[in-house]
Amino acid sequence: MGRDHSADGLGYGPVYFISRYSMSTAYLATAHFKDQDALSARIIQARFTGHFRFACQAFLEFMSDPTTSGAGSNNPEVSAFANPDDYTSQYDRNWLVMASALFSESYYSETGHDYPTTVLGFWRDNCELPAVERSAVPTNLWKLDKKVYGEEDLFAHAVPVHSYAPLRAFGSLRQLRNVVDGGNGEFYSEDYTNMVTTYDFTEDRTHRRTESLQSLYRERICNPTYKYSINDAIGNPPVGSNDEDQSNFIRDASRAKLPRWDMAVPNGMLGASGIRRPHPEGCGLGIESGGCNPWGAPSYAYSSLWQWAYVTSSQCDSTVQTNTHTHPRLTFAPGVCAATQRYHPVGTVCSTSRRSRSPRAAPTADRRASRRSTAQPWVTISTLLRRLPQSSWKSRWSASGTTWPRNCVRSCPWARPTPGASSSCRSTESTTWTL
């Protein structure tokens, strides 16, 4: 799968090794479905066969193709790129919204039970969490060939879970730029999840504020409680499972009547998959010993700049007009429209006048090739922060001196460095904090 968008044109899969144990688990997980070949059944089966990681990587690369994107007409700002000629929706095209809705409908049809629609939950349940829920095989088998528990397909394409997960945020660029609640509410009506009924996509709306980029910046990078190391910022997830106690590991019995387990998946064989596991590296400077609970330490999903954001549309307007005081006016840096083009060419052609729209040009092979080479609708948080306006974010922080970075003061007004102490947004630098 995914041949059209993979780097070498070979796509991903098949699975390197298929055991009768993983196939049995996959079958039992959907044995109560009316149709074992239904969409929801296939997706759930892939969680246990190991095929999920290749499907998710291929899906990410498909969504990152700019020719599959589309900006909704509800967005009041000028879009940075021309829409496909056949796209006239009022909402941004969001492939995960469609995938979640189809999965939920299929699940209800097959089982009679509701499965909540959610963008973040769909990606987490089907792409991230299965990486730490393997099916055990006999010990002599994985000792003979460790790739049995590996992350490669049959053609040696390595797909670690952090190459496509976790998904922290999604939405239009102006939503992701919002520093109050991450773009919640009807003011951001280009996002379908903001406009549906109360019972649909509730998780996404509920967690949009806490999963926003500003929340990462405020609650983790500028929070002195725990150290924020280079490894926290750009390192891989911890090796092993999400369990805080790594002495726990997956066990199973090869036969029903065995008195104890005889198969296991050592946590070290899971790869760097502990995305949700607390990863303590000590208290921040200025925090006394014992002042931070190691079991409450932030995880990779709470700290990393290598998480993913799905940018559904890009805007290049000079200002963000607001209709309430809850949405602050943001001033964009000059040239932000050009920077926008690097990672999401959707919408209408950029113009200097607000709301003006240039005529759409017919897509050509050259234009499509150009889009493919420069666009990245799925981007890491670090890339997105680097592209955002200087008025709200900076790509670098001061490592020494007494000048507190302006954006850190703006984001953390409750935190100021003590005069004479070196200062940095990161609590791992030599900073004495006063509240």
pTM to 2 decimal places: 0.78
Instruction: Give the pLDDT score at 251.
Output: 93
- Segments of the chain scoring below 50 in pLDDT: 317-375, 388-435
The 10s digit of each residue's pLDDT in 338-390 is: 333 333 322 222 222 222 223 333 333 343 333 333 345 888 887 776 554 43
Domain spans of the chain? 20-68+89-311, 398-435
Instruction: Give the pLDDT score at 322.
Output: 25
CA distances from 330 to 102, 269, 318, 398, 405 (A): 36, 46, 9, 23, 18
Instruction: Give the pLDDT score at 385.
Output: 66
Instruction: Give the pLDDT score at 428.
Output: 30
The 10s digit of each residue's pLDDT in 144-176 is: 999 999 999 999 999 999 999 999 999 999 999
Select from 219, 176, 117, 80 the least CA-distant residue to 383. 176
